[in-house]
Structure 1
Amino acid sequence: MRLKNEVAIITGAASGIGQAVAVQFAEEGAKVVLVDLNSCEKTIGLLNGAEYLECLGDIRDPEFVKATVNRTAEKYGEVHILVNNAGTCSRLDLEDMTLEMWDRDLDTNLKATFLFTQAVVYPHMKEAGYGRIVNISSVSGINGGVTSGGNEKNGRSGPAYAASKGGVIALTRWVAKELGQYGITCNSVAPGATLTAITAGVQYDTSNQVIDRMGDANDIANAVLYFSTKEAGYTTSQVLKVDGGVSIG
């Protein structure tokens, strides 16, 4: 059990990638803190009796973030792992992008990542001299947005999503450089087209990928698991693209 007795906070744990991460972590012996705006009942039903703490609220709210981390520390004593997974994806193009949608994606994808990272590191991970932080970014933050099949309007992930995920990558690298001295690693997993609620109703053309299919939540969770283990202690500031090879060329 690679995460035996470790405590992991996972945002966006009610479904999709966050749910898959929570289930895998529980199977590996972790105590999982399930963070979401919506009920995590379905995820809890998949944990097979593993220990968990459910924290429901808005991850963009600094007070909720602090309260979640404090509840975790009070119950379990330490926080070993943070997975910043929760996200939103607007598909409006530049012409139609609204300030409301821009703020939503930036606040959910980037601001919340900053808030949770700050809250778990100071003082918890820093005092413990150990921590694993994994941020879910996207190949959209690298290449400017995955284009869906047929190039239909509003199929491509929008500029707010791409900008927020690019920001997550930059933040990952900054944090890695800052916190390595304390035994804390920070890495990012960048999914390509993956079957989740965010991609529901969007048809992606995967024929230009080396692996001609969309990814699933477990494909991403497998990469998150590696970055979260003790064995990954010499790996930091990395962005692992889990995208079926679409980024090759």
Structure 2
Amino acid sequence: MPGRVEGKVALVTGGASGIGRACAERLAAEGAKVVVTDVQDEKGEAVAGALPEGLYLRHDVTDEDAWAKVVAATADRFGRLDILVNNAGIGLGGSVLEMSLADFRRQMAVNVEGVFLGVKHGLPLMRKSGDGGSIINMSSVAGLKGAASLAGYCASKGAVRLFTKAVALECAQAQDKVRVNSVHPGIIETPIWDTIIGTGGPGANAAPERSATLDAMAGMTVPLGMKGLPADIADGVLWLASAESRYVTGAELVIDGGFSVR
């Protein structure tokens, strides 16, 4: 069914590449006006420029003033906010004994504080229209189960999972028609893996060594026997953004080829 989010305004953080880019493109293809934010300016401008109605804004999600400005710019340009995809995140692997406190805090700042600030500043604009909306927070299967050498990442994504449920209840109590859900990707082909498994450079685009490593990982650990693609996550985000999921809030949408149930 085309036009599943026709006339809606979406804000996608970390939208310059990977899952964020796929979400921005999928929402736009179904009729949404999309604000793409990131710190990768050239890539972000290219993504937004290719959308029917897109706007790119440079945005450090750990900066509260930046959030206020992004939400204000969204209101100035489009007048409302219906869909917020808190997607921006980083993945830092390594033993808990070797990870520096600075890196642990940086990962928590981007992955958790960025989501908190998105809700804090995006929700008032979403409520203003009176039509409700959908907040979609990107967690991970690492937010559902532990993984060796990913303690910091698991901590951050687990926090997103429970933060989402608490905000969902808060919105339900307020009767503001805003639904809040988390998405939990598994082994998906995105640049975030470069800093988790040490392949390629940060921001690399489907480096051959990363792709081969993920193929091998998925073959051994994913029941469906293959890695996922950003489009697989974007399809789930679209469903949560649309009226088709009108009775879904506080839920975990796991998209992992069965990885988390093995």
* Same fold at TM > 0.5: yes
The answer as to 2:195 corresponding to 1:193 is: no
- Structure 1 residue 45: deviation in Å? 5.0
Partner of 2:222: 209
One-letter amino acid matched to 2:63: D
The answer as to 2:241 corresponding to 1:228 is: yes
The answer as to 2:259 corresponding to 1:246 is: yes
**Which structure carries more helix by proportion?**
2
Distance in 1 (CA, whole Å) between partners of 2:48 and 2:36 is 9
One-letter amino acid matched to 2:253: L
Distance in 1 (CA, whole Å) between partners of 2:27 and 2:98 is 40
**Structure 2 portions without partners, runs of 5+:** 200-209
- The 10-residue stretch of structure 1 (2-11 or 196-205) with the greater mean CA deviation from structure 2: 196-205
Distance in 2 (CA, whole Å) between partners of 1:244 and 1:104 is 30
Distance in 2 (CA, whole Å) between partners of 1:44 and 1:62 is 23
Q: Any idea what SS the aligned residue of 1:5 has?
A: coil
Partner of 2:94: 92
The answer as to 2:158 corresponding to 1:166 is: yes
Identity score, percent: 36
Distance in 2 (CA, whole Å) between partners of 1:25 and 1:223 is 11
**Structure 1 portions without partners, runs of 5+:** 148-155
Distance in 2 (CA, whole Å) between partners of 1:41 and 1:125 is 24
Provide the aligned length of Structure 1 versus Structure 2. Answer: 236
One-letter amino acid matched to 1:194: I
Q: Any idea what SS the aligned residue of 2:140 has?
A: coil
One-letter amino acid matched to 1:42: A
How do 1:30-179 and structure 2 match up within 5 A? Answer: 30-39=32-41, 40-44=44-48, 46-47=50-51, 50-122=52-124, 124-129=125-130, 130-145=132-147, 156=149, 158-179=150-171
Report the TM-score, using the length of structure 2 for normalisation. 0.87
Contact 2:27 2:238 (C-alpha < 8 Å) held by counterparts: yes
